């Protein structure tokens, strides 16, 4: 596997002081240690309206932080996303970032009368680390990995971001210091490849 030269790491937790922030930092530092050029963004630092008020029927101007995110995504070879799972999905603010930026003409485009889009972020890979309080075995057995499938197939793959790694870690609420150290190791491995 070729080493990615440009890596974007997004801490997708709306709280800047979260474990996801520490995990995103660990992934970014591991990528830098292997020689990659790294850009880091923290959802908590981005200012934007997360509501796509008019859907695709009207154009909603992109705030400067959304333009910054899109520029970084276009720049990178690999997108690393670290976020918590809340109510079986992403936090609303992270979903709002996706809603506001993964737009027709920006992230995908329908051509002619085709039903399948041209993937405008093609040629990039994505790696995802999700924190959760639901054990991985139950996410699969009880929920059939609902969010993981949606994120992989209906969001990232839809726009051309090929997922090369997707992992859930937890449970978070009762994690011992040893378990948290193992979570940080998982994040470092995400950035090291």
Cα(15)–Cα(94) distance, rounded to whole angstroms?
11
Q: pLDDT tens, 113-144?
A: 878 889 999 999 999 999 999 888 888 888 88
Q: pLDDT tens, 133-187?
A: 988 888 888 888 899 999 999 999 999 999 999 999 999 999 999 999 999 999 9
| Residues in CB range of 13: below 8 A, 6 or more apart | 19, 20, 21, 43, 44, 82, 83, 84, 91, 94
What does each C-alpha distance from 20 to 84, 117, 132 come to in angstroms?
A: 7, 32, 11
Mean pLDDT of 81-101: 97
Q: pLDDT tens, 51-66?
A: 999 999 999 999 999 9
Q: Which pair of tokens denotes residue 20?
A: 């996801």
- Full-model pTM: 0.94
Domains of the chain: 6-52+60-192 (3.40.50.360)
Cα(78)–Cα(161) distance, rounded to whole angstroms?
9
């Amino acid at each position: 596997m070729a080493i990615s030269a440009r890596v974007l790491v997004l801490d997708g937790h709306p709280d800047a002081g979260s474990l996801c922030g520490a995990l995103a930092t660990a992934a970014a530092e591991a990528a830098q240690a292997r020689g990659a050029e790294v850009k880091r963004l923290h959802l908590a630092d981005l200012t934007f309206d997360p509501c796509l008020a008019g859907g695709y029927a009207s154009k909603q101007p992109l705030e400067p932080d959304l333009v910054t995110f899109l520029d970084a995504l276009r720049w990178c070879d690999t997108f690393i996303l670290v976020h918590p799972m809340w109510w079986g999905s992403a936090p609303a603010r992270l979903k709002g970032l996706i809603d506001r930026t993964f737009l027709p003409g920006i992230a995908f485009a329908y051509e002619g009368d085709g039903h399948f889009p041209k993937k405008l972020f093609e040629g990039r890979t994505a790696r995802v680390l999700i924190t959760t309080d639901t054990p991985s075995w139950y996410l699969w057995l009880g929920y059939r990995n609902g969010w993981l499938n949606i994120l992989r197939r209906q969001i990232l793959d839809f726009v051309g971001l090929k997922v090369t790694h997707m992992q859930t870690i937890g449970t978070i609420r009762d994690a011992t210091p040893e378990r948290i150290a193992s979570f940080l190791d998982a994040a470092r491995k995400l950035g090291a490849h």
